[in-house]
Amino acid sequence: MKRLLSTAAVLVASGVPAFAHVGHGATESFAAGMAHPLSGLDHITVMVAVGLWAALKGGKALWAWPAAFVGVMLVGGAMGMEHFDLPFVEPAILASVVALGLLVALAVDLPVAVGAAIIGAFALFHGYAHGMEAGENIGGLEYMAGFAIATAALHATGIAFAIVAARNSLRPLVRIAGAVCVVIGAGLIGGVL
């Protein structure tokens, strides 16, 4: 686990911020919120990785980890909309891509509560970034609702992929997908993606 965290820290420290959440267009409607998670590799990768990891763990994690992400993401969104000061937002978002990918690739088996805490910590930063973009009106709230639903759908995609892979004796594909997440994260950090 220490090696996992050290690797993620080195990648984040050595990279240039991707500024994945600057100037993403309309952020004041439900439709914009639904579309936003599909607009960037960081979003898709992290959300699917949460689902993959939840499916690897199974049991309560199947619902608890995605619910933790969505719930804490909405708290972070409210913080962003209120312009609370939260440092290291972009580095934390980039670290989440690598770290969650590593957790899947290495099939790290943690207690459900610990996994939820890790996922929630990353979700806070994701939500904050989107809350900073959202309008401070009803349209901004609609945007966050759309974003939450699309996020949950991406989590479900990761879960479904992992379940189908397991049923077809292709469980190693889930870990390979985690490794792909790590590569994508490193590419985002390095500015090549």
End-to-end CA distance of the chain: 27
d(CA 115, CA 113) in angstroms, rounded, equals: 5
| Number of alpha carbons in the 13 Å side-chain half-sphere of residue 74 | 17
CA distances to 88, 112, 119, 182 from 186, rounded to whole Å, are 17, 27, 19, 6
Q: Which two tokens stand for residue 122?
A: 């990353």
Q: What's the pTM? A: 0.85
Tens digit of pLDDT for each residue in 127-171?
A: 999 898 887 788 888 999 999 999 999 999 999 999 999 999 998
- List alpha helices for the chain, DSSP H: 2-14, 30-35, 41-57, 61-81, 89-105, 112-133, 138-167, 172-190
Looking at residue 18, its pLDDT comes to 39
CA distances to 55, 58, 102, 135 from 1, rounded to whole Å, are 20, 20, 10, 39
Looking at residue 17, its pLDDT comes to 38
d(CA 33, CA 36) in angstroms, rounded, equals: 5
Residue whose pair of structure tokens reads 């790590």 in the numeric block:
182
Q: What pLDDT tens digit does each residue of the chain (193 aa) get? A: 445 334 434 433 433 333 444 444 566 789 999 988 888 899 999 999 999 999 999 999 999 999 999 999 999 999 999 999 999 999 999 999 999 999 999 999 999 999 999 999 999 999 999 898 887 788 888 999 999 999 999 999 999 999 999 999 998 999 999 999 999 999 999 999 8
Residue whose pair of structure tokens reads 């974003």 in the numeric block:
147
According to the 3-state scheme, what is the secondary structure of 15-71?
CCCCCCCCCCCCCCCHHHHHHHHHCCHHHHHHHHHHHHHHHHHCCCHHHHHHHHHHH
Going by C-alpha positions, the residue among 81, 95, 70 that lies closest to residue 20 is: 95
Helix 2-14, helix 172-190: angle, nearest 10:
30
**C-beta of residue 126 within 8 angstroms of C-beta of residue 70:** no
